[in-house]
Structure 1
Amino acid sequence: MRTALYIRVSTEEQAKEGFSIAAQRDKLLSYLHSQGWTLCSIYTDEGFSAKNTSRPELQRLLADMRSGKLDVVLVYRLDRLTRSVLDLYQLLKEFDRYGVRFKSCTEVYDTTTAIGRLFITLVAALAQWERENLAERVKLGMGQMVREKKRPGGPPPYGYDIREGRLAINPHEAEVVRCIYRRFLSGFGPLQIAEELNRQGYRGKMGAPWSAGTVSHLLQNHVYSGTLRWNYALGGQRLNPPEEWMLVEQSHPPIVEAETFDRVQQLMEKRRKTHPRALASDFIFSGILYCSRCGSAMSGKTASTRSASGKRYTNRYYLCKNKRSGACQAPAIREDLVEQHLTETLLSYREETRSAVAEAAASTPLFTPRLALQEQLRKLAQKRQRWEEAYGEGLIPLDDYRRKLEAVKETEAALHKEIAADHTGQMSAADRRDLLLDFSQIWSHATLTERKHIASLLLKKMEAEACPKRANVHQRTVEVKRLEFH
């Protein structure tokens, strides 16, 4: 009899005696040899629940069965195969279709008789009831933990630690979280923030590099505003009906203010509604600039020209999207003229924005190398403490302990030297205020990407057109008919 051994352990069962992979394999092989059967293959699903049949090794077993490679399917217990009555019925029907027997080495089943089928169905029903009953108890317990303002299981999110069942702020990580929120509100996207974090040497909770998805998830997580959320998914995807949602405010110390968190959600909603091409475009006013004649969006384009001396220049323009179809005859607008108008307009608001700029100038610099270096020092101190405890317990010899300690001291000395040489953030608040008020200097020194960030942060919509008094596009001026700020 060609026999397939099927083994399954779910994550919560792997540590239980008698359910481990090795234990099941030993039992099954002993039974197989006692019956004189031939081992065909062993199929092992590690870390999969039996609530459905979407398991890679089970699907491979079924495929081999349909190919006529098997005569018997042997399991340690019925609940290793399935905990669903419907799945059991369909599997037994499939086994019958291909003439394959089903056998449990610890239970007596005879699937060839009606009473045997009834018995095995009852056992499967009890297994399904046990799983569903356990799920209900766990869900009820987690809900009660949320009501008591305790985190309902799982590791703490970045920025927090768990102390006595509650979330407590991790000062070093919390500062990075605040920097991420400030950076996003200043116009940077999740991918750019992640790249900047990785460049500065920051890592996630478990030491993994940052990604756009991780940053996006962090920006949408209510936990940072001091709210505990349960049964409520990110990105507007609710997994459960509204009556089962649970949001407990002021359950733990917030890392960012509620007002800041709400502003981030509004900005993320705006970015979701913005066309991806506008977000990805390197044109400064893409998604912001509209034709004042017909109201259509204007798209950026480049054109190359050659001077009399033979030198080639690249010029950037904006064209009304309706011009291609002939529905609008608005002339092209030079990007540098739009930039000039924006800087002149913002300089006119210099006095009105002085107080807001002063407040921004007094804030902590974003993603400074000093913070990353200090975080590395903190982790080295933790490593040193673990080695001291290990040496005290006799887990490592003295020579190893001294060698590790010496390596840590060298690394710490190098980090202290880098911190001493880092002058980030030494500019006074008054100097930063004067610099921020000189918008023309900021704009002239900013890269195209930074200018796009500034424009998207400040402007909601701009309607403009080129004044066609001159036929030569290089001699035209631009007239802004409407300017909306956020």
Structure 2
Amino acid sequence: MARLYGFDDSARTRLRDDEKQVIRLAASRVREGQSLAAVARWMNDQGYRGTLGGAWAPVSLGRLLDNPVIAGLAQDPKTGELYETGLPRIIEPEEFEELRKRQRRPERTTPDFDYMLTGGLLGTCGLCGHALVGARSNSSTPGYRCQPDEEGGCGKVRVAAHLLEDYVGTRVLGELARPGALLRLQEEKARIEAEAEQVRNRLAALEEQRGNLAEDYAKQELGRAAYKAANQKIDDAEKELRQTLRYAEQVAAAPLGGIDDVTGLVNWWNSAPAKSRRALCHLLLDQVEVYQASARGIRHIEDGRVVLRWKSAGGQVS
């Protein structure tokens, strides 16, 4: 993997101080409204060059600033959602999202839809257990579907996004309105925050282990085959831990403060971004199972089509 500008290694685990500052300055200029061409000219005038010594062009600068790695993020290939990787960041995720909005021009007339039940959370096919993905219908209506693929998706379940999200939202609000619900959620949130910190410590220990392996290999105290096998085990462990950390951080981000009555709760839910509503769903639900409709064209959620499995009830369904 080639070294990305701003990083000191191809694995992108260490930042290069002189280059990261250039990226921050360039990002600030773009966020202030300057064009990529103007910022690229400024970088060249200041003597800044790319990793191979070449001058900056609008295309190369745009590609760099559109790479989620600079914000410590990665993009889910199925859902397109961004998630934290735990790797070093040069700019903040909020700054990166603003950069993307400024750089990208609409490529289609239908706007992006912010799905609440994707991104590794909740939505599963009741027939095969496969995770649902966000997908538009032939009429461009946002929906959820079981994607048939090599991992075993049956492709038989599909539901309009607004129907499923309204159904889940109504029941989540009802659960949150119960006496003592917010207190229980705050306790669960604190527990998961502590779990996230433990995962971060384990990731740091794995990185230290990886460094020790590299040193042993450099000293020829470890053969190439043994080094590759041990390094692969670390990669596998890290992947699993980062998935756990991503989930924990989503839950820990749930905004529980300031919601002290039912009216305030409903008003908040109706205006909250999908990621905030998703975080609250994380705290309450283990899974949302969706089954086939009894017939095509049904404009409501039929009894038994959606099964909610609640954490607080030990997996009880509703």
TM-score (norm 2): 0.34
Higher normalized strand content (fraction of residues)? 1
TM-score (normalizing by structure 1): 0.23
Structure with larger RCO (C-alpha < 8 A, sep 6+):
2
Tell which structure's C-alpha radius of gyration is larger.
Answer: 1
